[in-house]
Amino acid sequence: MKAFFLSLCFFLAASLPSYAAESESVDTGKVIASLVSSNDSAAPGETFEIALRTILDTGWHTYWRNPGDSGEPVQLDWQLPEGWNAGDITWPLPMTLPTGPIINYGFEGAPLFPVSVTVPEAAEPGTIQTLTLDFYYLVCADICIPENGSASIDIAIGETMKDARWNPLIQDALNRAPKLASLSAGIRQEGEEAVLTLTDLPEADFSDAYFFPFDQGVVQHSAPQRVAFGEHGVEIRAASDFAWENGLPEEIVGVLSYQENGTRTGSEITVQVGDNLDIGLNDRADEVGIATASSFTLMGAIFGALLGGLILNLMPCVFPVISMKALSIAKTAHGERTVIRREAWAYTAGVIATFLVLTIMLIALKSAGSEIGWGFQLQSPLVVAGLALLLFAVGLNLLGAYEFGTSFQNTGSRLTTKGGIRGSFFTGLLAVIVATPCTAPFMAGAIGYAVAQPVGVTVAVFIALAIGFAFPFVLIAYVPSLLKVLPKPGLWMTRFKELLAFPMFAAAIWLVWVLTLQAGPIGLLQVLSAMLLVALAVWALKIDRIFAKGLAIFSLILAIAVCLSVRPESSSTIDLTQETWSTERVDEFRAEGRPVFVDFTAAWCVTCKVNETLVLEKEKTKQLFLDTNTAFLVADWTNKNDEIARELERYGRAGVPLYLVFSSDENSVRAEVLPQVLTYDVVKEAIGRATNGSKS
């Protein structure tokens, strides 16, 4: 009898069609889904794998177990024969999916989601069992569409027979999925940052390591993760999130992503909350393992900084000050070579000293928990206003509106009146300050690497940047043939000097524009008033009277005081009432003669969140709704809602976002449909049409 059952089992297995380990494909809209099995047949008590295979349309993505700032994870619901058991998804290594200011975690292409399935010991050989899976996933591109389906797969019970097509693919997916690692990991909160420390790491490249926590609230997904190397391990810093407010459990779990042998890989890690592992951050890193990768990166960063510093001389924001130095060289080109070289080194000293000061400030501020980078000082409205005023004053000097003595050559300041060396030094200082808004080719990667590294590495990269920036003038001073091609001093220098005033004024205008973004209309009024006072002081200096000199001094002091009073624009807290959407509520508002804006959104919708962050939650947009008495209704499709689905279908949409603007004219039946990517002007113009009742 036993031989009979075995023969029957072999007969059934042999008679199964070749696609027995694969279900029929299901087209859910943007995804082709199917079930695939590692086994054609399985023995009683055996555990094998069945995977949900998904093929996403180009440009669309779906989500990991922690979807990030928005989205929903893939969800599986099994209907299994009695006694069968299915485990959890073995998740593939996720990728970051940036959309505007938010970051999501998920997959593109054709991700495979394997699940371990166990056959009961009591399963009868020779039978065929049907396993059914109901699946759900959210797919997003410009819009997000929740899709679902169901698939069934037949598994023969008998001897173990692996499927030649799907078993290798499933095993490859399992091999590439993050595995539990034995490394040591701790995480703590430091200020407003979560600091992850890792030791006992494998030999791999952790220079762009990234931590994907299983649960939300550990780190802010949209915040950058910064890596620093120590002698014994790696540190990853990111802005902490809401889970820290109520206290995290003793352990959290996540995936650490890094490069190994040129391939992106990941390890599942268990992190001890509150632990601060000693990674020797301020010491020189080991010469093996992680330090090998970081040393190579350091050399690349230094080379990139040198090259970027050279190219930085050609950037528009640096040109006004660099041109002044070129004019100074032209004036002395046919004089004593020792004087030229001395001034070139003074300029270089000014450049290096300023870079060092900025680097020390950057390191200190980052140690205090600030999120800053290259050009951080221009994030201060006070610095921007002062620099705009300085460049305006320099421009007036170049036009000959005032003179501070014949030795004034470089910066338009009394700092230069005691000789060319001092003037050259402060020209280097000013050149670095105005250079910070610019990022030259090869420079961005070097700086991005430097600001995430220990102090010594950061200083080395920025010194390389300073040397590259100052090198052209040192080269000119030591190569006589370059000096000989410069024309002799003459009237052309006067005209060239006057012409340089206009790049100075252009730079000042640009800084004033930057200030309007930081300090608003009040800041604009303040800096323009300070410029008026400087112009008054310049005029007063031309009058040979004591009271005029006093007026000039008073005007300059007042101008400085006005600049010092510039503050960032205070953010108002406009309370905009939002109500839940319904067709009845739309009709009620329109009966009152009010236009209506309807936001069809969902918590998992990426584009929705970007539009909310960049447009709908801005103060000026809220003020627009208040000024026009526009009702704001929200149709939240986070959870299934048939009424919202029907309204989406009515307007030809399968998913969110959808933005509708209803006219205040009740005779207008349909709403105006706005683009899926919003701007303030688009919203303003649509509400303007709706307010006038001109949209039918």
Domain 2-176 sits in CATH 2.60.40.1250:
yes
Supply the DSSP string of 110-173, one letter for each residue.
--EEEEEEE--TTPPTT-EEEEEEEEEEEEESSSEEEEEEEEEEEEEESS-EE-TTHHHHHHHH
Tell me whether domains 2-176 and 180-286 share a fold: yes
- Tens digit of pLDDT for each residue in 357-377? 877 776 665 555 444 445 555
- If you write DSSP's letter for every residue of 267-327 in order, what string do you get? EEEEEEET------TTSPPPSSTHHHHHHHHHHHHHHHHHHHHHHHTTSTTTHHHHHHHHH
HSE toward the beta carbon, residue 671, CA cutoff 13 A: 24
Architecture of domain 578-691: 3-Layer(aba) Sandwich (3.40)
pLDDT at 442 > cutoff 80: no
Residues 6+ positions from 338 with CB-CB distance below 8 Å: none
**436: helix, coil or strand?**
coil
- The pair phi, psi for residue 142, each rounded to 5°, is -75, -30
* Distance between CA atoms of residues 401 and 535, nearest Å: 9
- Residue 696, pLDDT > 60, answer no
Structure tokens given for 379:
């994030």
Other Cβ atoms less than 10 A from the Cβ of 595: the count is: 27
Average pLDDT on 192-202 reads 91
Q: Is the pLDDT of residue 211 over 90?
A: yes
CB-side exposure of 190: number of CA atoms within 13 Å? 18
pTM: 0.54
Segments making up each domain of the chain, as ranges:
2-176, 180-286, 296-564, 578-691
Q: What is the pLDDT of residue 392?
A: 84
Residue 544: which pLDDT band, with cuts at 50, 70 and 90?
confident
pLDDT of residue 634: 94
Most trustworthy range by pLDDT among 150-159, 443-452, 637-646: 150-159
Q: Which CATH architecture has domain 180-286?
A: Sandwich (2.60)
Half-sphere exposure (CA, 13 Å, Cβ side) for 558?
Answer: 16
**Predicted confidence (pLDDT) at residue 247 exceeds the cutoff of 70:** yes
Average pLDDT over residues 373-390: 67
Mean pLDDT score across all residues of the chain: 79
Q: Mean pLDDT over residues 168-192, rounded?
A: 92
Summarised one tens digit per residue, pLDDT across range 103-159 is: 899 999 999 999 999 999 999 999 999 999 999 999 998 888 999 999 999 999 999
- Does residue 451 surpass a pLDDT of 60? no
Q: What is the DSSP letter of 487?
A: P
Task: Give the per-residue pLDDT at 11.
Answer: 45
- Taking Cα atoms as reference points, which of 4, 259, 213, 29 lies closest to residue 126? 4
Taken as a whole, the chain contains a residue count of 696
Average pLDDT of span 317-337: 57
For the chain, the straight-line distance linking the first and the last C-alpha, in angstroms and rounded, comes to 81
- 62 pLDDT band, cuts 50/70/90, is very high
Degrees to nearest 5, angle at CA 88 with 257 and 126? 130
Rg of the chain (C-alpha set): 34
Distance CA 324, CA 307 (A): 22
DSSP character at residue 219: B
Going by C-beta distance under 8 Å and a sequence separation of 6 or more, which residues neighbour residue 593?
A: 664
What is the edge-to-edge ordering of all strands in the sheet holding 112-118? 26-27, 31-37, 47-56, 112-118, 85-89
Of residues 305, 314, 306, 321, the one with CA closest to residue 431: 321
